[in-house]
Amino acid sequence: MNKKVLITSYVHPKLISGLTDLGFSVDYQEAFDIRNLESVLPLLSGIIINSNIKMTAERIATATRLEFIGRLGSGLEIIDVEYAKLKGVAVINSPEGNRDAVAEHVVGMLLSLSNNLLRADHEVRNKIWNREANRGIELGGKTLGIIGLGHTGQALARKMSSWTLDIIYYDPYLLCTPTDLPNITQVNINQLTALSDFISFHVPLTPETQGMVDEKFLKSCKESAIIINTSRGQVIQTNALVSALETRRLGGACLDVFENEKPQAFSPEQDQLFARLYAMDNVVLTPHIAGWTHASLEKIAEVLISKISTII
């Protein structure tokens, strides 16, 4: 009997054909109904998931034939990694596949905010010609602080290394600066917030990072600083960020991820909080699409196939 792999989200055809070439029987359901998960888990040798499915210890225990869990992207907080390891189930993610896309998204959001592109575009469409009010900020001579120098943090540093700005980073788990990034400097978190004009987050969601951007953190930043988050929404305490933006303790924010990414499920309090955020013109907001490119879709498939081929 062929080993069966369930794919639960939209993927590039290369992932399907690659798994087939490796000898797997592929059940591809790009809009998988999670209500059917428990019934199919005991039949699976592998499962490919996005953030729509959490592989808890209970689900892993049910999947008695499971050999691997493939993650489309990087975040592993949706998988009980320790329990999977205990059960001999390989956990495979693919940050190499979308790191460049995320880094480019950061640059795009930052340039858009610094040059007032969204506001200026809206005004021009409404026949408002307001040049002076839309005078921009150049990145040259400024300092970019990167929190988390993993795959995406390094990709951002590489893309920005040719710009005339200083790049510093904070990552307590990185013992030394990568040799191909000689022009960036490791600092502690207090130095980073004090020096950075732009702070970009590239961290996993862990007990250590959850809510790390609170009122105290924001007060330690420059008043003109721009916060950029393409990692996980729960890293930032939204209420603290909104308050800092409203009082102009911060220069702005670029957010691709949010504490609650289901607007239809907002509580009344969240609805009011996010309404305050949406009303600001010193923010750029996108719907968790950093890393969501046509190229990254293909690259993620290639990365997963390459890694899966080494464990079967």
Instruction: State how far the Cα of 224 lies from the Cα of 240, in Å rounded to an integer.
Output: 16
Check 119, 276, 288, 298 and give the catalytic one. Answer: 288
Q: Decide if 202 is catalytic.
A: no
Q: Are 102 and 80 in contact (CB under 8 A)?
A: no
Check 12, 202, 232, 249 and give the catalytic one. Answer: 232
Q: Decide if 131 is catalytic.
A: no
Q: Are 248 and 222 in contact (CB under 8 A)?
A: no
The three-class DSSP label of residue 254 is strand
Instruction: State how far the Cα of 89 lies from the Cα of 272, in Å rounded to an integer.
Output: 43
- What are the Cα distances from residue 27, in Å, to 2, 9, 59, 163, 301? 12, 11, 18, 46, 16
Instruction: State how far the Cα of 200 lies from the Cα of 193, in Å rounded to an integer.
Output: 11
5 — phi, psi (to 5°)? -120, 130
Task: Supply the angle between the helices 268-278 and 238-246 in degrees, to the nearest 10.
Answer: 40
DSSP state string for 168-234: EEE-TT--S--TT-TTEEE--HHHHHHH-SEEEE-----TTTTT-B-HHHHHTS-TT-EEEE-S-GG
Q: Decide if 288 is catalytic.
A: yes
- What residues are labeled active site? 232, 261, 288
